[in-house]
Amino acid sequence: LASSIAFTLNGVILFAAFNFELRRLGQKGIGWQDLGDTLLSTAIASGVGGFTAWILFPHLSEMDFLARLPRLLFHWGEVVALGLAAAAGLFMFLLSLGYWGRFRGRGVAGTERVILTGGGTGGHVNPALAIAEAIKQKEPDSQFLYVGLRGKAESVIVTRAGYPIRYVWASGYPGPRPSLALVRFVFSLLVGIVQSFYHIATFRPGTIVGTGGYVSAPVIFANTLMRGLGMSRARV
């Protein structure tokens, strides 16, 4: 059971990760080699995460305080143990993905790598592209990745400008009052942070440029967390 659940969990993570990569194949500057690098990184990270969950689950489910939880249609102790094991497995997935990304050897030494983020309207997107053009004038070999919101202005403007783009989940803050909108905001932010973690780990930027808009929030939060863990050196 633990093994099945662990690999199912990582299968979902793999599907989500590769879904973004497959959408990028037709974009300018993205080729099969880029997808191959991502496949290798994610496969290694998934194995680490799945193995962690598989190892931890039986030990957690046998703990006394969990074993005393009531059993209805299923044993609550096993549910809690599964949640803890899955959380640890996901953390190890992200951790190993980040560290593996640092040693893959992709890219040219000394090349400036910049993540641009911000969107929703042209007022956020165009300044980011102007900054990219200014950087390219000083560093012609610079590489860029735009992180934005699907279906917004950046999905058209950035693609038209010839820059690769990836998407994350994000939504505007609805205020502190309890509501479905607040739940949606929290869920979108958490998913967006995980997606941003993945994009930062695989692209390995030296600089992150944010030009406003709520889509910038998960990227900045993810980079702050990764810097605290020693997994990113990107300046914001």
138 in the same domain as 92:
no
Same domain, yes or no, for 15 and 119?
no
pTM across the whole model? 0.59
Residue 156 has phi, psi (to 5 degrees) of: -100, -50
Is 234 a domain residue?
Answer: no
Residue 107 lies in a domain: no
Q: Which of 213, 197, 52, 45 is nearest to 122 (CA)?
A: 213
pLDDT of residue 145: 93
- Looking at residue 223, its amino acid is N
Asked whether residue 197 is domain-assigned, the answer is yes
Domain holding 117, by residue range, is 113-228
Judge if 31 and 76 occupy the same domain: yes
Give pLDDT, residue 152.
Answer: 86
| Contact by Cβ (8 Å): 48, 93 | yes
Give the chain's mean pLDDT.
74
Eight-class DSSP state of 230: T
Report yes or no: 218 and 168 within 8 Å, Cβ to Cβ.
Answer: yes
Q: 119-131: per-residue pLDDT in tens?
A: 766 678 889 999 9
Q: Are residues 66 and 135 in the same domain?
A: no
One domain for residues 120 and 42? no
179-211 pLDDT, tens digit per residue, is: 888 888 888 888 888 889 888 888 888 889 998
Give me the pLDDT at residue 106, please: 43
* DSSP state, residue 25: T
Supply 121's token pair: 């309207």
Provide the residue count of the chain. 236
Residues 188 and 222 in one domain: yes
Most confident stretch, 59-73, 88-102, 168-182: 168-182
CA distance 174 to 136: 38
SS3 206: coil
Q: How many domains does the chain have?
A: 2
Say yes or no to pLDDT of 173 above 80: yes
The answer to the question of residue 73 being in a domain is yes
Residues 20 and 60 grouped into a single domain: yes
Domain limit, last residue, from 102, 128, 155: 102
Query: Of 74, 102, 130, which residue is a domain's last?
Result: 102
Tens-place pLDDT, residues 124-158: 888 999 999 999 888 888 899 999 988 888 888 99
Q: Does 108 reside within a domain?
A: no
Chosen domain end from 49, 80, 102: 102
Q: Which amino acid is at 5?
A: I
> Do 19 and 93 belong together in one domain?
yes
